[in-house]
A and B are shown apart, each in its own frame.
Chain A
């Protein structure tokens, strides 16, 4: 089903996007309110919490350009050595910018 992007159509599209996104923000909390927090559930949630980020970042690192990879590598190394997020992020960005100048 296609919807026109002019006039009211654009408003409808934005509202539908907002509702779908809201459902994702509320859905997880809502479903969990029916799940008893057992030890297994706790372990599942705990394993999942870091994994969300790992799953988000892995394709970025594997399929990204040299700049993207250097940025992530730089951030990881500085975090491992220094444990300070802001310098690590800043250096990562600089690494990407430098790699993309050449």
Chain B
């Protein structure tokens, strides 16, 4: 499963293009998210160049929305840094889970590919690896699709945002949630995994209710990791 002895870390132009095409359908929805962000940011009073610069350089939707909540004539810098870090801390875990394959790449490529890491392309890449298929093309190509569509969507939101003033009423806020759930359900399913996920779910909920804001993803994922480590090899 995670024994990366074969050529699963392969990364070439064909694989990247194929990854781009595989993530393109979901990226169309990302345009809508991006537009929702662009519109919200205009309403909070950010300048057009700030909004586009943020989507281009940060490329992490949930944290960008969170910063809008903090935005006034002044902004508390450390609160903002903590918020962004907490929401994006899951990238740390994604990087770690990709490491068994990324380690075969030279450092510039390794860190270059990680520039595009986000939920959807990471989930697709991990699923490919668990099926015994190369996944880094999905990570990079899919990431480039998500990234470019995110910027295009932001731009559309700045200029034509009013057309979709209420994306939630169309269910569009659920696109990413449904996508990620489909990845979970479509992935490996056995009793051992279900137990691990149950522990992760409980830990996440407890953290959501009782620990500082935005800590639940990291807490739940680490709990799942510990459960996996302690539960022995199982069927591997």
Chain A residues within 8 Å of B, Cβ to Cβ: 1-6, 9-11, 13-18, 20-33, 37, 39-60, 62-63, 67-68, 71-72, 75-76, 79-80, 83, 85-86, 88-89, 92-98, 100-101
> Smallest distance from the beta carbon of B233 to chain A beta carbons, Å?
7
Alpha-carbon distance between A34 and B180 when the two chains are bound, in angstroms? 30
Q: Is B203 an interface residue (CB 8 A)?
A: yes
State whether B221 touches A52 (Cβ < 8 A): yes
Most B C-beta atoms less than 10 A away, residue of A62, A67, A93, A101? A93
Q: Is B163 an interface residue (CB 8 A)?
A: no
Chain B residues within 8 Å of A, Cβ to Cβ: 1-2, 25-26, 45-47, 50, 53-54, 57-60, 63-64, 67, 71-78, 80-81, 84-85, 88-100, 102-103, 110-111, 114-115, 117, 119, 123, 126, 168-175, 177-188, 193, 196-197, 199-201, 203-205, 208, 216-229, 231-233
State whether A97 touches B170 (Cβ < 8 A): yes
State whether A50 touches B203 (Cβ < 8 A): no
> In the complex, what residues of A have CB within 8 A of residue B1's CB?
46
Beyond A29-B102, A55-B223, 8 extra complex contacts between A and B, CB < 8 Å: A2-B77, A16-B80, A21-B59, A51-B223, A51-B227, A52-B217, A53-B181, A97-B170
> Smallest distance from the beta carbon of A98 to chain B beta carbons, Å?
8
SS class, residues of chain B in contact with chain A:
helix
> In the complex, what residues of A have CB within 8 A of residue B2's CB?
42, 45-46
Given contacts A44-B229, A72-B178, contact A54 B91 (CB under 8 A): no
Given contacts A3-B75, A5-B75, contact A28 B96 (CB under 8 A): yes
State whether B221 touches A55 (Cβ < 8 A): yes
Can you name 20 A-B residue pairings with CB atoms under 8 Å?
A5-B73, A20-B88, A22-B115, A24-B85, A25-B114, A31-B92, A32-B99, A44-B226, A45-B225, A48-B96, A48-B97, A54-B200, A55-B223, A56-B119, A57-B184, A58-B208, A58-B216, A71-B174, A75-B178, A83-B186
Given contacts A20-B85, A28-B93, A58-B201, contact A89 B169 (CB under 8 A): no
State whether A58 touches B95 (Cβ < 8 A): no
> In the complex, what residues of B have CB within 8 A of residue A94's CB?
171
> In the complex, what residues of A have CB within 8 A of residue B63's CB?
17, 21
State whether A79 touches B185 (Cβ < 8 A): yes
